[in-house]
Amino acid sequence: MITRDKLEKAWEFSVEKLVVLAGLASIVFVILIFTFLVKEGWRTFVVVGLKDFLLGRQWHPISSPPAFGILPMIGGSLAVTLGATVLSVPFGLISAFYVAEVASPRAKEVLKTGIELLAAIPSVVIGFVGMVVVAPLVRDVFHLNTGQTALTGCLMLSLMAMPTIVSIAEDALTAVPKRYKEAALALGATHWEYLYRVCLRAAAPGLLAAVMLGIGRVIGETMTVMMVTGNSAQIPHTLLQPVRTMTATIAAEMGETVQGSEHYAALFAIGMVLFAATFAVNFLADAFLHRAEAAER
C-alpha cells in the first residue's frame, strides 16, 4: 500500500507545516498591529511633528486650525496609572503573600476564587458601578461639583490591576525553593521572619514583574476610565480633577472622525504611543521573570 503510506506522509507533512505557521502567527499579529498603527498614524508625526505631538498642551482636533498636543492625555494616563499603582501594589502584594504562604488550603481556595471572580468582571461593568456608585460618593466626600475625577479612576483601576498583581506575585512566591524556608526555619526564624527577610528577597524579581504587568494592565484600560474620569483634556494638578487618558481619547473620538482625516491619524498616533508604552512595560516584566527563573536554578 505505497499510495496510502505516501498519502499519510503528505498529510503529516502538511499538518506539521500548519502547526509551525500557527506557532509563528503571534509574531505576525504583533507586526501587523504595529504596521497598521504606523500606516494610519504616521502622517501625524509629519504634519504635527513628534515634539509638538507629545509635548503640545492643546488638543483641539476639530477646530481650525486644529491642535494635536497630547501632553494633557499623557498627564491623565500617568496620574491615573500612578495613583492606581500606589493603591494596588501594597494591597496586591500583601494579599499574594497571605494567599501563597499563610492562608489555610481551604481559605486559599476561597480567596483565589474571589480574585478570579474579580478578573472576570467586564471592564464596562466596573466602569458602570464606578459611575453610578463610586463617583457620587467621591463627590460627596470631597464636596466637589463632579465625582468624575482622576481619584475615582484610580480607585476603580486599582481594583482591576489586583488580579494580575496577586496571581503573578503568588506564582513568584510559590516558586521560591522550599529549601530556603526549611533553612530559615531550622535556624530559628519564625514563619513571619522568613517571609519578610528571605522570601521577599528571593521572590523580588517575580514580584517586580507582577507590578509591571499590573501597571501594563492599568495603562491600557479603556472603558472604565472613560466612564469614571470625566474626560476633560487638561493637565491635572490634583487627583480631584477630571482627567482624560490616552485610551479614553481614542475610544471617545474615533466614532466621530472622518476616515483618513488628520484627527483620525492623530488617534492612531496615540495608539502607537500606547503600543510602545505597553510593549516597554511588558518587555521589562518578561526580563524580570527571566531573572526570576534563572535565580531558581
Partner 1 sequence: MNSTLKQRIAFGAMALTTIVVLVPVFLILGTIVRHGAGALSWQFLTTAPTNGMREGGLFPAIVGTLCLVVGAVVFAVPVGVFAAIWLNEYARETLLTRLVRLAIINLAGVPSVVYGLFGMGLFVIFLNFGSSILAGSLTLAIMNLPVIITASREALKAVPQPFREVSLSLGVSRWQTIRHIVLPNAIPGILTGIILEVSRAAGETAPILFTVAAFYLPGLPKSVFSQVMALPSHLFAISTQIPNISLQTRYGTALVLLVLVLGVNSFAIILRAKLRRARKW
Binding to partner 1 in span 275-294, by CB under 8 A: 275, 278-279, 281-283, 285-286
Q: Give residue 89's Cα distance to chain centre.
A: 13
- Spatial distance between the Cα atoms of 224 and 75, rounded to a whole number of angstroms: 17
Contact status: 42 vs partner 1 (CB under 8 A):
no
Q: Which residues have CB under 8 Å from 45's CB, separation 6+?
A: 53, 269
Q: Is 211 in the site for partner 1 (CB under 8 A)?
A: no
**What mask, x for binding partner 1 by CB under 8 A, covers residues 61 to 90?**
-----------------------------x
The piece of 17-25, 51-59, 135-143, 197-205 that touches partner 1 (CB under 8 A) is 17-25
Which of 277, 282, 224, 244 has its CA nearest to residue 37? 277
Tell me if 219 contacts partner 1 by CB under 8 A: yes
Closest to partner 1 by CB, 231 vs 241, is 231
According to CB under 8 A, which residues from 166 to 205 bind partner 1? 166, 190-193, 195-196
CA distances in angstroms from 117 to 121, 173, 218, 244, listed in the order given? 7, 21, 18, 28
Residue selected from 2, 64, 178, 255 as contacting partner 1 according to rule CB under 8 A: 255
Helices 71-97 and 246-253, axial angle in degrees (round to 10): 120
**Of the candidate residues 6, 7, 10, 39, the single one contacting partner 1 (CB under 8 A):** 39
Between CA 267 and CA 181 the distance in angstroms is 51
How far apart (Å, rounded) are the C-alpha atoms in residues 147 and 154? Answer: 12
Closer to partner 1 by Cβ: residue 79 or 267: 267
Residue 53 in the binding site for partner 1 (CB under 8 A): no
As measured in angstroms, the least distance from the Cβ of 237 to partner 1 is: 26
What mask of x and - would describe binding to partner 1 in positions 92 to 131, judged by CB under 8 A? Answer: x-xx-xxx--xx-------x-xxxxxx-xxxxxxxxxx-x
For the chain, give the number of residues: 297
Among 7, 10, 30, 183, binds partner 1 (CB under 8 A): 30
Q: How far apart are CA 230 and CA 217, in angstroms?
A: 20
97 vs 163: CA distance, rounded Å: 14
**The only residue of 7, 10, 36, 50 in contact with partner 1, by rule CB under 8 A:** 36
Please identify, using beta-carbon distances, which residue of 63 and 92 lies nearer to partner 1.
Answer: 92
Min separation Cβ 178 and partner 1, Å: 20
Q: Which amino acid is present at 212?
A: M
